[in-house]
Structure 1
Amino acid sequence: MKDSGFELPLPHPFDFQLCLNYMARSPFECLYTTDTLGVNRLVKVGVAKRLIRVTCPHGRMMQVQLLQGVSLAKEELEELTRYIRNWFDLDRDLEPFIQMSEGDPLLGQLIESFSGLRIVGIPDLFEALCWAIVGQQVNLTFAYKLKQRLTEHYGDAAEWEGVVYRMFPSPEQFASVSIESLLSLQLTRNKAMTILDVASRMTSGELSRERLLKLSDSESIDKELTKIRGIGPWTAQYVRMRCLGDQTALPIGDVGLQNAVKKMLGLNQKPTPSELRALFEQWPGWESYVTFYLWRTLY
């Protein structure tokens, strides 16, 4: 690596500013900091914590800088590269998606507004599951506060230039955490039990991102996730979309998605699940991206 950093080629289309806008949507985000040029984040690489900065200064290459000046071994570099490619969905060819929008009034509007926006992923399965769990049946602001409390109480941190950067805790860091401790953070008992169950399954190796990705189809993934008490269809679909890179994931029961479709189509009331499913049949294979872009219309 040159100067404690490296570059990644960008796919077309890719709009880093739209991705930054998405990441900056809440002032309560605790896992990274964004500015007009890039994003800083503390990530685990191998067994170490690494503070990185991601920018796209000329729009052609993504620059990744290790802010604390360390150098990475080959295996660490490969791991960090995979993380960033998953984070920004850099391996996705969006050209078929753009072609599908031609002549489609709704999709055409979305592409016009958000062309180059990638699904900003959550590459860590435990973080993705916990984020979906704490977000169940609460408003987004309170969900962020719960994530912040979990991160500050149990996650690792590093300081650089007077700023403290935090990392979402690993499943292993919940090994000695009690339900009562989680209740004191204002999680419900059911959510606390689910988080500890997921942590236990991941620590034992029963559940992992790699194991889920090896399953033959999306129904198998849904079945594997929803057998865990406290994880329903919405959570499974959300994790498939944000963590597993599944283009076909469709969180049909999502209120935000229903509101976005109501707004875009000028409906008098929110569409029913069956109406939503019928609507999405015209975009096979791109349900996740249509959902992600529809969510963006709400901001």
Structure 2
Amino acid sequence: MEKINIAGPYNFDLVLDRLSLDPLHALDKEKRVVKVPITVGEASIVATVRATGTTNEPQFIIDGIDMVDKEQAVNKLTHIFQWNNPLEEVHSHFEQTDLKDISNQHRGTPLVLDFHPYNCLMKCIVHQQLNLSFAHTLTERFVKTFGSQVDGVYFYPTPEKVATLTVEDLRALQFSGRKAEYVIGIAKEVVEGRLDIEGLYTKSDEEVLNELIKIRGVGPWTVQNFLMFGLGRPNLFPLADIGLQNALKKLYNLENKPTKEQMLQYTKDWEPYLSYASLYLWRSIE
């Protein structure tokens, strides 16, 4: 067992609320617990993260990491839950903007990442051009059919596994033929050494964009979401995202969805925390 104390504000209940939208996540909102599938060295383990503190004085207890390198496990969890990025400055910034009310509603909500960047890239591809409900359903089918389980918690299928699949294997889950090709193609890029997912951590946003955009099926929306939820970059705002367009329409009481020019004007004051603005706007209509 490890005990973690971090700087507030950090609202773990709002974290669990958003994580609960994905049926693959194993959590209990009443007990304030989430089980996180991570790989430490060669071991696939399930770390149990339980909140015991408050929004202003956050504290967490981590179980399930005694048999592996604890420091490495804690570092992975710190990155996933963004425990090392204090949110007071983010909150103070939005207090001076049009996002003040929404920011207050979601005070202490961090930019929690997918549990592995490869998972995030797979999920971004699956979610392309689908409504959120079916996107989660399709991702759940994909993971439960081809992934693995540890202590009842699912791990995404490895690139090695996905690279062996056929388009017909994924079509059976209701993937489109093209989307199936994209998912398998990305897995092969990883397996054959042309795409180093871990190596993307050290690259700039522009370098990541330039590397990923060359891969079939990966467009700007996918890269921007990957930068946010795969790598934790703080200043992304996917202009083509329909959810953000609808959130801005609601925020500014517009008759129609905003144009790109309008969106650029609205977001000017939200830098350098555009990823948090995106997150809070998504939450405002979820």
TM-score greater than 0.5 by the shorter chain: yes
TM-score w.r.t. length of structure 2: 0.93
C-alpha separation in 2, matches of 1:288 and 1:139: 21
Is the 1:31–1:168 contact (alpha carbons within 8 Å) kept by the matching residues of 2? no
Match of 2:256 among 254, 258, 269: 269
Structure 1 unaligned blocks of 5 or more: none
TM-score w.r.t. length of structure 1: 0.89
Matched, 1:33 2:27: yes
Is the 1:34–1:40 contact (alpha carbons within 8 Å) kept by the matching residues of 2? no
Alpha-carbon distance, 1:222 to partner: 1.0
1:147 corresponding residue in structure 2: 139
Is the 1:126–1:198 contact (alpha carbons within 8 Å) kept by the matching residues of 2? no
Q: For 1:132, what is the secondary structure of its paired residue?
A: helix
Match of 1:177 among 152, 162, 165: 165
C-alpha separation in 2, matches of 1:82 and 1:205: 26
Q: For 1:206, what is the secondary structure of its paired residue?
A: coil
2:270 corresponding residue in structure 1: 283
Alpha-carbon distance, 1:31 to partner: 3.7
**Structure 2 CA distance for partners of 1:144 and 1:274, relative to 1, 3 Å:** same
State the one-letter code of the partner of 1:294.
L
Alpha-carbon distance, 1:34 to partner: 3.0
1:195 corresponding residue in structure 2: 183
Matched, 1:156 2:148: yes
Alpha-carbon distance, 1:12 to partner: 1.8
C-alpha separation in 1, matches of 2:193 and 2:4: 31
1:94 corresponding residue in structure 2: 87
**Structure 2 CA distance for partners of 1:175 and 1:103, relative to 1, 3 Å:** closer
C-alpha separation in 2, matches of 1:222 and 1:154: 28
Q: For 2:62, what is the secondary structure of its paired residue?
A: strand
Is the 1:226–1:236 contact (alpha carbons within 8 Å) kept by the matching residues of 2? yes
Matched, 1:119 2:111: yes
Alpha-carbon distance, 1:176 to partner: 1.7
Is the 1:31–1:167 contact (alpha carbons within 8 Å) kept by the matching residues of 2? no
State the one-letter code of the partner of 1:9.
N
Alpha-carbon distance, 1:11 to partner: 2.5
C-alpha separation in 2, matches of 1:151 and 1:33: 17
1:62 corresponding residue in structure 2: 60
Match of 1:6 among 2, 14, 37: 2
Tell me the matched-pair count. Answer: 282
C-alpha separation in 1, matches of 2:121 and 2:87: 26
RMSD: 1.7
Alpha-carbon distance, 1:32 to partner: 2.5
Matched, 1:71 2:66: yes
C-alpha separation in 2, matches of 1:54 and 1:296: 23
**Structure 2 CA distance for partners of 1:208 and 1:12, relative to 1, 3 Å:** farther
